[in-house]
Structure 1
Amino acid sequence: MAEASTLGQALKRAKPGDVISSVWINELVDTVNDLQTRLASLEDAQAQGFVAITGLLYTSPLRLGDPLEIQGQNFGWSRGTQQVRFDSADITEFRPGSSDTRLLVTVPSFSNFPDAGREVALVVSDGTYSARRSVFILPAEQPISGNLVDVLWETITPNPMAIGQPLSIGYRLRSRVDSTRTFTITTAIAPAGLQSGVEVRDEHHQLLVQKRIELGALQEKLFFVKLTDIPNTLPASGLTITTSAVSGGVTGSDSRTFTVAGSVASDPAITLSVSGFSAVDDAGDPVPNDGSYDSGATTIRLRSGAFGRMELAGTFNRVGTYTVSLTPSGVVDGWTRTLDTGAVIVIEQNDLIGGQASRMIRFNLLVSSTASTGQIEVRVQRSGATGDKHLLFQLARLP
């Protein structure tokens, strides 16, 4: 529970090196002033029997329809004379646990309440005396629904898929909701006989028995769908798996086909090829001795501490929205991988010249002195398509 103007709320502690801002000082001043006000109110109430409001306890931010605990003195509960009013709205129901020193109520609803919220006058009375507080209240939170979570395919192991072996498919779950949500992961597989052997595992490959993943506001996490065995009876068309994430009305899904001969059907709308690679200094100027690209082995070699820049030529022959991703991204095994161009490419009808549109895709690499060998995969996927286009590169550190 969070509290507005109450003794129970702890101030944030400053750490060595923190900048003491005006916000922090103002919070301290407000707290001291509030303590003085409530102490004076309490002393007067106890001495004279007046009604006093000493604190309000609620989950922040306070909204219409939320529970509210009013703390204080001499509320008249034992005599049955207690009264609570929000602006002109009288409260007629009090929750169990109310007493002369606390009243448990629900914030009433108001018509035409502004989206930004407003101050509401809270008045508590014992039938003779009254106390007043101004409370800032927001409108009731509206239910969130829609395609507001992304289920993004990342990896498949082994690649290509092999008969008689378990299959692990990696996804990135990305929330576009400004609140914490718990998503339930479901899968639908064709042929249906494979459904019984499906497991959902977290980013550390630990089994999620309930198949649930919690994401904070705008957070993302990796997870894996594991099939315990790929049977010999798998049809030539492979298997199609639809992986979905659901939290109330918030949903998202990914559907694609995997085959034994290859991991994923290629999207004919995309062509992806290497345009050029160079090792560069801090100014972006080429330093040939610091790195190279071996096209035969699809291997990027980079000297310790050096920067590498890979440019890819993307060609698109269909209108649509294309997502570009690196797997893995960030810092892994001493390699820092970053996408230098946009993660989303939008191709409109007027972009197609002669039936095609070209875009450059570029990613950067930085290798540490302790880096081991690694891999990086660049994937381009068209929204709504089951296939994609991807290139896999090996990474090797030069001494």
Structure 2
Amino acid sequence: MTSPLLRVNPGDIISATAWNGIVDTLNEALLRIQALESGGPGTGLAITQLVPAGPYRIGDTLQILGQNFQFSAGAARVFLNATQVLNLLPGSSDTQLRFVIPNVSGVLEAGTVVDLVVFNQSQSVTRQVVLRPQQNPLQGNISIEWLSVTPATVVPGQPASFFYRITSGTNNLATWALTAMVDTAGNAAAWNSQLRVLDGLGNELSTRQITLSPGQQATVQIQIPNVPAVANGTTFGVTLSADASTITGTSGIRQFVVGTPTPPPDQSISLLADPLASQGALSGNTLTVPGGQNRRLAFTATFTVAGIYTITRSVLGGATGWAINLDDGTIDTIQINPGDLTTGSTARPLSYRVAATATATANAQIQIRIQRQGNTAVYSAVYNTVRA
């Protein structure tokens, strides 16, 4: 028996999941009504249900339930638009047809309405389904940039919110599990036990998840409702990480000092990792280096303000056996002249060699910091490293 639809209260947020549940229920009801109107459980060809309810992707397995498909007589045929399903799966019968959805031309990621047509020897019946392209394995990366802290001076006994920009660089829509952590020398539990993860508008993300399309950006904030009673000058670090499938991204450990104003990040700079130039060692936000060897880590840095920029490299978190060195053609000082910015920005390639000894810490984080001379703001990016 189908579960009844749940009612909502005034002010409730109607999510995509809830709405799609209503649509799926209505579509199933329409199929059943149409089957009854065509004569019910008689001798005519009928589709009574599609399992699952959809929408579908090319490559999904679909089961059509109904009657008089004439499968045992070899007369059952299935088409999606003009594409015929050539192989019906074991378990198919006169009352159910199972198959893998074949490649159908013209299908878009947003969803394309396709005619699903079932034939027997003398009849046909048509239903419309929403079809999307085949979902390829998730590839690419996720970047997390620290934006600001409110208030700029963290004070004991008061709330503090740390804002981050998350940018998807993947090939598919993905739901990211968010992990927030405070690292401090003492009483870390008092900090971490009260952490909240919110969206950019201040709504709590109770599941600590966010869904992003390829190239989409979102603002996320980590909130400490009540900064523990510690002395001014106490240093603590905040990290935000995002995970989906095999891809992990991290903001790295951003250090703050209680009672001391925090300078903002330099948002005139951006840094984009280049997996191709990194020769396959970089997957998502993680660089894999065999013990006793080194691997290239390549970037494209984009600048929008003229000046002289100093780049520093470091290994974070006390990891041992790791080093990040300059690759050929990369220097630690870059000069951007006004004439370089005729289009508003200019890009520079950066390349480093990340080395791990045979006994290096299994996991580490490396940080790239870029600062324009005379500017207090600093751009930083953090990447995970794994010793293979």
TM tier relative to shorter chain:
0.3 to 0.5
TM-score, normalised to structure 2's length? 0.47
